């Protein structure tokens, strides 16, 4: 058995109208843990809530995001990159918590960005 740490974070994507009212939302819990070899990491994306079940993320949201180096934190970063690409072009606002886990700095901050690039979703 390979022992290791677990890290996680929440990433939320919001759509708001011109009046600042919430119109769409996706809330994800990204969990990272040890991979199959020393130094490797894996991460899973869990959809916590969505404004419309028909808009549920499919494909990569159900995939295991694997990295050979960097451990669980790198795997979570890879999964977050996937979500950012998935929501590109949706004109969403992203709010993300800091990584939580034994190998990550303890921070209570939330990071927000606008996701407005052209969509790459198939």
User: Which residues share a beta bridge with 47?
Assistant: 28
Is residue 2 one of the residues assigned to a domain? no
Taking 60 as the threshold, does the pLDDT of residue 3 lie above it?
Answer: no
pLDDT at 58: 64
One-character DSSP codes across 25-55: EEEEEEEEEE-SSTT-EEEEEEEEEES-GGG
Read off the pTM: 0.79
Is residue 121 one of the residues assigned to a domain? no
pLDDT at 59: 61
Is residue 18 one of the residues assigned to a domain? yes
To the nearest whole number, what is the mean pLDDT of the chain? 81
Domain count, the chain: 1
| pLDDT tens for each residue of 58-76 | 666 778 899 999 999 999 9
Is residue 1 one of the residues assigned to a domain? no
Q: pLDDT category, 12, cuts 50, 70, 90?
A: very high
Is residue 25 one of the residues assigned to a domain? yes
Is residue 109 one of the residues assigned to a domain? yes
Structural domain of 83: 7-115
């Amino acid at each position: 058995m390979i022992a290791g740490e677990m890290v996680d974070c929440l990433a939320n994507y919001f759509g708001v109208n011109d009046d600042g009212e919430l119109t769409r939302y996706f809330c994800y819990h990204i969990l990272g843990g040890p991979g199959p070899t020393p130094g490797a990491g894996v991460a899973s994306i869990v959809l916590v809530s969505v404004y419309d079940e028909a808009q549920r993320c499919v494909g990569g949201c159900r995939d295991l995001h694997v990295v050979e180096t960097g451990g669980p934190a790198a795997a979570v970063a890879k999964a977050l990159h996937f979500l950012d690409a998935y929501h590109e072009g949706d004109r969403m606002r992203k709010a993300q918590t800091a990584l939580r886990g034994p190998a990550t700095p303890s921070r209570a901050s939330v990071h927000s960005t606008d996701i407005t690039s052209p969509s790459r979703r198939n």
